Amino acid sequence: MSVLRPMDKLPGLNTATILLVGTEDALLQQLADSMLKEDCASELKVHLANSLPLPSSVTRPRIDLIVFVINLHSKHSLRNVEESLHHVDATFFLGKVSFLVTGDRRLP
**All structural domains of the chain with their residue ranges:** 13-100
Does the pLDDT value for residue 7 go beyond 60?
A: yes
Q: For the purposes of burial, counting CB atoms within 10 Å of the CB of 63, is it exposed (0-12), middle (13-18) or buried (19 or more)?
A: buried
Q: Cβ atoms within 10 A of the Cβ of 18, count?
A: 19
* Averaged pLDDT, 34-50: 92
Alpha carbons within 13 A on the beta-carbon side of 55 = 6
pTM confidence score: 0.85
Please tell me the CATH code under which domain 13-100 is placed.
3.40.50.300
Q: Identify the pLDDT of residue 32.
A: 96
Does the pLDDT value for residue 1 go beyond 60?
A: no
User: For the CA atoms of the chain, what is the radius of gyration?
Assistant: 14
- Give the rounded percent of residues in the chain with a pLDDT score beyond 70: 88
